[in-house]
Amino acid sequence: MKALSMLVVAAIALLTVATSDAQGPSAGAQPADAWEITCVDCPKWIDNLTDRSLRLDSNDLPHIAYGGDHLYYAFFDGAAWIYETVDHSDEVGWSASLGLGSDGQPHISYYDSHMERLLYATREGETWRIETVDTQFAAGRTAFISLALDQDNQPHVAYENDLGLTYATRQAATGTWQAETVDTSAGACISLALDPTGLPHIGYGDSILYHAVRSPTGWLTETVDPYAGGACSLAIDSAGQPHISYSRYYIESGLAYAHADAGGWHAELLTDTRPSHTSLALDSSDSPHISFALETNLANLQYAHRDQGDWQIETIEQNDVGRWSYESSVAVDSDGLAHIVYHALVSYRVLDRRLVYARSSGTDWQIDTVDNAAAAGIAVSLAFDSSAYPHLSYLGGGLKHAYLTTSGWHVDTLDALGGEASSLMLDGTDQAHVAYSAYYPCDFGFEPVELKVGNSTASGWQAKIVDRPPGLGQQIPLAILPDGRPAVAYIGGGLAYAYQDNAGWHIDRVDRYCSYACHPSLVVGSDGVPRIAYARNGLAYATRSASGWHSEIVTDQIDTRDSIVLAIDDSNIAHIAYFYAGALMHAYQNSDGWHTETVDATGSMGLGLSLALDASGTPHIAYYDTTNRDLRYAYWSSEGWVTEVIDSDGDVGQYASIALDDDDRVCIGYYDATLADLKLACQERTS
């Protein structure tokens, strides 16, 4: 018997499945003893660069620490970039802060958000040694971390834990860490540097910017600016005096720069728009160099430096992909030239990112992409071919198609831009069809989207534009007509239904009062009749006949902010999964009409829903628990609805898409938002 051979109802594109019971749900298969989870597409994820993510070695070559899903380290050896994964653990690498010892060896402090602890890594020869610095962190904390090395190459780390602003040093003799509380509060920025005598200085704060220095009698703290807004970066000059770049607001807003001397602190405002992130470095003449990103409608990375007493400001890069800001780290080489590393978004919806290195020549900038990252697994849609191999369409670095063969997983990019929705089906010849939203360039604001439907052919992927509506919803379900041609439902000037024949594409306007929140779900039955479930004045169900579309209201109790999914059995009787008042609901037909029931009301459910019927007509539902951020699964049994948690490791389960094989084994494709990966969970059988 085939291991996997049943067409499925996906999270956005619901497929027809077989059943012989038109009288409501029947008792289904018992749950498997365990689930096997596979990462199908696991690209790197980059987040939370710090002002100390970049360092230059004695040859002025760049070294970078970064991460998000894992901790990475990259350096340029003079000819090429060399990459290392320092820590393969999940959910590590946030707020990576890098130092290079006098021997050239890297030292990195970083946050483990899974275990809620501060870690420190250093390379010894060809291997990395990883130590735990502190474990006093609350769940869900965003850590601010800054590392500096002393003349003996021993690490010093400033960070915020449950006790407030904390300073820790590693004892060379014992290899243990000693920590002390500097302040009971820290704020949205922490930046550490050591002066020429080895004393630690910390710039920190949020609405107030502080400077702390450790004296023989304890920590001395002073206010730098009572109107600061975070985003600070600290450097110490050759005389041991502190310099800080930061965001200022309230009375005057903008990028601010302050330095101290014997007369106290002196501050100046460089821009009239405040930055979301800054990084400061001093050259050999103690002149400041600042990389920063301004909070404007046009995302940007800028660089400021003082030349003969005057500030020079230039734009390194600007990006019209949303309002997302750059995070950056600046360093200055022995010639006084700036080097900047930053990460920038590539696409607005999917949060694809690139890690970029920019080097000043004095007159212009040489800019290179160091690494790429993507969020793989947005808008997952799952189906199986006739040989029982899974296929998934999804967004991540564009529109992608992943499929399994005897040689393993393969990933093809179908559209480099992609959009915000996708839906996959296979026809009777195993030809893959995908409906999706695609961006096309324009000269204003948000990139507009067009509805496309593509299919795989012997000569490659071919896609056609179906419509360019004023807006597309996040559900654009695809179905295959009896003649093997595609049909799709979507929001475009109301609820629309498009189908293809020999003459091309034709569009029906099903319900002109539908908006973005209608969440249509389309299925074409064995009788060739298209059916759409959607939200308007409640849960609506529409069928198409020779005279047009006819709709009825199933129930007036529905949440219009969440998905709706439709499946029909072999007798063309409908099942619909949806949400109401935070609960997962199921509606079904029988000879008495429509019936509704609660499936799961244990938490706030939503943001991901998929329904499939097994061979006996029993409904199986995969869905996302927004309260606990878990992937859940529900099925009907003789005892009623049974629910399980399939994956609870991080924030998992959005965009769930479900399938069953000939033995009614369940598989679910879904998005791991913590690691930004596409995953597939399948039941394991013990017999």
User: What pLDDT is stored for residue 608 in this prediction?
Assistant: 83
- Which has the minimum average pLDDT: 309-323, 509-523, 581-595? 309-323
Kindly give, in sequence order, each residue whose CB lies less than 8 Å from that of residue 561, ignoring residues fewer than 6 positions away.
517, 606
- Here the tokens at position 569 are 């059995």
Q: Are 521 and 533 in contact (CB under 8 A)?
A: yes
User: What pLDDT is stored for residue 435 in this prediction?
Assistant: 95
Name the band, by pLDDT with cuts 50, 70 and 90, for residue 257.
Answer: very high
Residue 6 has pLDDT above 50, yes or no: no
Nearest alpha carbon to residue 18 among 680, 615, 668: 615
Q: Which residues pair with 395 in a beta bridge?
A: 378, 399
- Here the tokens at position 348 are 């607005």
Q: How many CB atoms are closer than 10 A to CB 231?
A: 28
- Percent of the chain as helix, strand, coil, to the nearest 5: 0, 60, 40
- Here the tokens at position 501 are 């024949």
- Here the tokens at position 117 are 């602890």
SS3 at position 516: helix
Name the band, by pLDDT with cuts 50, 70 and 90, for residue 1.
Answer: very low
Q: How many CB atoms are closer than 10 A to CB 309?
A: 6
How far apart, in whole angstroms, are the C-alpha atoms of residue 397 and residue 441?
17
How far apart, in whole angstroms, are the C-alpha atoms of residue 665 and residue 274?
55
How far apart, in whole angstroms, are the C-alpha atoms of residue 14 and residue 340?
47
Q: Which residues pair with 83 in a beta bridge?
A: 74
Q: In what order do the strands lie in the sheet with 34-41?
A: 34-41, 677-684, 666-672, 652-660
For 367-416, write each residue's pLDDT tens digit.
999 999 888 999 999 998 888 889 999 998 889 999 999 999 999 999 98
User: What pLDDT is stored for residue 78 in this prediction?
Assistant: 95
Name the band, by pLDDT with cuts 50, 70 and 90, for residue 235.
Answer: very high
All structural domains of the chain: 34-43+375-684 (2.130.10.10), 54-289 (2.120.10.10)
Nearest alpha carbon to residue 451 among 426, 483, 415: 415
Torsion of CA 161, 167, 171, 172, to 10 degrees: 110
Q: Helices marked H in 529-614 — which ranges?
A: none
How far apart, in whole angstroms, are the C-alpha atoms of residue 581 and residue 601?
9
How far apart, in whole angstroms, are the C-alpha atoms of residue 403 and residue 383?
10
How far apart, in whole angstroms, are the C-alpha atoms of residue 391 and residue 173?
56
- Here the tokens at position 450 are 């067009």
Residue with tokens 């975070």: 230
Kindly give, in sequence order, each residue whose CB lies less than 8 Å from that of residue 640, ignoring residues fewer than 6 positions away.
none
Cβ contacts of 459-467, under 8 Å, gap ≥ 24: 461/412, 461/414, 463/414, 463/415, 463/438, 464/505, 466/435, 466/498, 466/505, 466/507, 467/492, 467/496, 467/498, 467/505, 467/507
For 275-290, write each residue's pLDDT tens digit.
989 999 999 999 999 9
Provide mean pLDDT across the span 305-329: 82
pTM: 0.86
Provide mean pLDDT across the span 338-355: 80
Nearest alpha carbon to residue 431 among 462, 467, 407: 462
Residue with tokens 């023989």: 216
Is 684 buried (19+), middle (13-18) or exposed (0-12) by CB count in 10 A? exposed
Rg (CA), the chain: 28
- Here the tokens at position 647 are 């994956």
For 124-176, write each residue's pLDDT tens digit.
888 999 999 999 887 666 678 999 999 999 999 999 998 999 999 998 888 89
User: What pLDDT is stored for residue 13 in this prediction?
Assistant: 33
How far apart, in whole angstroms, are the C-alpha atoms of residue 500 and residue 455?
13
